[in-house]
Structure 1
């Protein structure tokens, strides 16, 4: 089954939290990474089947704009990422994420 990676970066933590919540509630995806990108910028990365990641990204982008002061800075989806991209960048499935796949 083709797998995709989706990433949303927001200004402020509440937007990232709202995006992650909406994404996992909307589609069959797994949060694989969350972190602070730089001062005040946060990102959340998900993985799952291509069609599910596409749906989840749409819901996450919409939800991330709702909290007061939050703003979606950028987002991107990679369908079928090469193995070296998924392994080297912080978007590979981890042991901690395994129970939620």
Structure 2
């Protein structure tokens, strides 16, 4: 386990742990006041390497809190630590596949700054908003996904907007995350917007053409008959000649 003081830091720590050794990401524990812990499982040697990599990443990020390694935990430890929640998947421990995109995380202190940063990011680059996460102490994190250049541009734009509105707390860009890491992150599915259908009784609707009055129809028919009669002169009989 490696604990940090922000959600972007704990996700970056988990990414470093997964890429450093053959370990399985159990999940995250959020204990309030901005404290988060990444929990991994595996062989003792692999866990030792993973924790070391996670500690170094958290320290480089400047938000390291603490770490712990528990060899051969008993099942009863589940009462305080959710290490068996995904027990069936532990038999499939193995390094996941590297993704071809990047994940960006931007954390602010205050919800308005996070929403403003999210708006700036989507308008500055071709990225997808995944979800947001709150961990207490007013800390809110927006998660985005896209190509590495687009994520980098979006994060930079979000940083400026977050600082303009409120307080920027932390940022993290993870290139080519493993499948295990992506599966551990929250994601909100948004339904596609339905096209707007105008009601039939709007004033903008074109009114159907009404049939002409009987008098107008009769007059039109008479005028057409007269025009035909004028174009073709009447035939004269022998007596008239």
TM range (shorter): 0.7 to 0.9
Aligned-pair CA distance for 1:66: 2.5
Confirm or deny that 1:90 pairs with 2:90. no
User: How many residues matched?
Assistant: 91
Question: 2:3 touches 2:36 (CA, 8 Å); kept in 1?
Answer: yes
Deviation string, structure 1 residues 20-71 (Cα, Å, up to 9, x no partner): 000000100001021311121111100000000000000010011223xx41
What pairs with 1:1-101 in structure 2 (closer than 5 Å)? 7-67=1-61, 70-85=62-77, 87-88=78-79, 89-94=81-86, 98=89, 101=93
TM normalised by structure 2 equals 0.35
- Please report the RMSD computed on the Cα atoms of aligned residues, expressed in angstroms: 1.9
CA contact (8 A) 1:10 1:73 kept: yes
Measure the CA separation in 1 of the matches of 2:82 and 2:4: 17
Tell me, which stretches of 5 or more residues in structure 1 are unaligned? 1-6
Check conservation: 2:75, 2:84, Cα contact below 8 A.
no
Counterpart Cα distance in 1 of 2:15 and 2:44: 19
Equivalents in 2 of 1:93, 1:79: separation in Å? 18
- Bigger relative contact order (CA 8 A; separation at least 6): 1
Q: Once the 2 structures are TM-superposed, how far is the Cα of residue 90 of structure 1 from its aligned partner?
A: 1.0
Distance 2:48 2:35 in 1: 22
Report how far residue 93 of structure 1 moved: 4.9
SS at structure 2 position matched to 1:79: coil
